[in-house]
Each structure stands twice: as structure tokens, then as C-alpha cells.
Chains A and B, each alone.
Chain A
Amino acid sequence: MLLITCPYCGVERPEIEFRYAGEAHIARPAEPSKLTDEEWAEYLYMRTNPKGLLAERWRHAHGCGRFFNAIRDTVSDRFVTIYKMGEAKPDLERLVVEAAQ
């Protein structure tokens, strides 16, 4: 079982208290009616699906109920960084370099 730190509660909790909520930092287009079908499909369905670091949303569903963002390594399942909603997305390339050192 993963242990995940909730940035709002400030404590480490078991994974069962959390819900995964997909990739983070995907902004809904301001005016969907002006998009082509391809652009809309791109927004709805296309995700980066990397082998390595991925920014994703999580929700502390059985705790404080808040959404937050996390950087997780999809290979090792390790959480690299956890940050609150509204905070800037960390530079993933820099995190990779730091992890290698």
C-alpha cells in the first residue's frame, strides 16, 4: 500500500483514503464551441501517459476531501512531490535530474 502525504492535512495516510483523479494541469478550453472535433477530442481523451514522472490530481476523499496535485513516477510508483491546488507545476526535467543525483 502506498503512503501519500496530504498537503492540506500535513500527514501521511494510507492510499485507501485517497482517490486518483487523472492527469493534472489540463485546462478546459475557454470556448468549446469554437474548437474543431479534433481539438475537442484532444482535450477530452489525449493524455501524456509517460514512462517516468507524471503530474496528476489526487483527492483526499476519506479525509479532508480536498483535491491536490502530485508528481508520481509511473515506473517506481514513488511520489516525488506533492503540492496544493493552484501552485505552479514543478519543472519535471529538473526533478529527473535531481533524482538522478
Chain B
Amino acid sequence: MPEKSVYSANAHLSPIVVTSNVRVEEAAPLVRLSLRGGEAAASHAGASIGAPLPLEPLTSTMADKAAAFWLGPDEWQIAIQEGDATAVFERVETAMADTPHSLVDVSERNRALIISGPKAAWLLNSQIFLDFDEAVFPVGMVTRTLFGKADIMLWRQSEDIFVLEAWRSFMPYVIELLQEASRELEAA
């Protein structure tokens, strides 16, 4: 897995949570595409972004400045570190040619948080009912699930780094719950 991830902390914003063992930061803006279609559409899209789209459930693939996430048997999210969303969209859309598919630019729909540190899984477990043991939630696994009452997408980027994406209107709710849990973590 490349060291440089498609997600990087937004340098213009101060971190949301900083404690001795966990850190939560807002991710820098990205181009995000939502793709629905069959495996043929997935292979065309994969070729155009330089990372084959994952076909195994709950897995992800990474390229230099792009990542692709399996969200359903015919649904993927593509994240690309690039300034011009329209140009990226056109490039992927052109690569699909006549393959039946639906491609939507959802760059502005989501915000992402980067949760890192030895207690990152602990912090997430304050609201997520999933087992983050590496045997069942290995690095690279991606899933949609619930964070409290908010729908989120969660990706394990490395052992101690998680990326949490949620619709932007849910983000204040997610952030405040994370801040509350981090105070509990500090007090413990």
C-alpha cells in the first residue's frame, strides 16, 4: 500500500480532537464519484483512474492519487485527489463508453474525517457496533454502517488510521459525538 494516501488532513483547519493517543482531523477536499453498474462498467472505470475497482465485498483498492471503495455488489465510490471535479468526471464518463451505468459527482456531498492513533478504534467504538480486531476488520476494509444515527462510510487506511465519510449535514453530529467520547477517553 502506498505511503501517501488519497486522504490528507486539511492544513487550513485546526484538528478536531487532539489527545495523547488519538487525533481527529478534517480531510482536505477531494473529487468523489459514485458509480452504479455491472462489472464491465467497473473495469472501464478502473482503467480510467489507474486502480482496478474492487469486486470482493468490503474491500478497497488504491492507486497513487486515487482510491476505489466497494459499497455494494453494483456500487462503488471513487475518491481522487485532484482539483477539477468536472475534468475527472468527464474522463471517467468517457471511459465508460456505451456500458450501462450511472456516474454521479458527489464531491460536495460528503465530508471526511481522519481518525488516527492507538485509540482510534476505541473512539469509533463509542458509536459503532463493529469489531475492529484486525482479523475481522483488516487494513483496506471499507464498509457503510451507522455512527449513532448517522449513515457513514468507514475505511481502515492502516492499522491505526481510519477514514470516516458522512453526508455533510450529518457531520456536526458525528464530530460532537467524537469530541464527547474523546473527553471520556482523556478522563479514563
Interface residues of A (CB under 8 A from B): 8-11, 13-14, 16-17, 62-66
Closest residue of A by beta carbon distance from B73: A8
Binding site for A on B (CB under 8 A): 57-58, 71-73, 75, 129-130, 136, 143-146, 151
Complex Cα gap A65–B129 (Å): 18
For B144, list chain A residues within 8 Å (CB). 62-65
Beta-carbon contact of A65 and B75 below 8 Å? yes
Known: A64-B71, A66-B72. A9 touches B58 (CB 8 A): yes
Could you say which residues of chain A place their CB within 8 Å of the CB of B72? 8, 64-66
Q: Given A13, A14, A62, which contacts B151 in the complex, CB threshold below 8 Å?
A: A62
Contact A17 B75 (CB under 8 A): no
Q: Are A16 and B143 in touch, CB under 8 angstroms?
A: no
Chosen A-B contacts, 28 in total, with CB atoms closer than 8 Å, are A8-B72, A9-B57, A9-B58, A9-B143, A10-B57, A10-B58, A11-B57, A11-B58, A11-B136, A11-B143, A13-B130, A14-B129, A16-B129, A16-B146, A17-B145, A62-B145, A62-B151, A63-B144, A63-B145, A64-B57, A64-B71, A64-B72, A64-B73, A64-B75, A65-B72, A65-B75, A65-B144, A66-B73
Say how far B155's CB is from chain A's closest CB, in angstroms: 14
What residues of A have a CB within 8 angstroms of the CB of B58 in the complex? 9-11
In the A-B complex, the 5 residue pairs with the closest CB atoms:
A64-B72, A14-B129, A62-B146, A9-B57, A10-B57
Q: A64 to B56, alpha carbons, bound, how many Å?
A: 13
Q: How far is the CA of A17 from the CA of B144 in the complex (A)?
A: 9
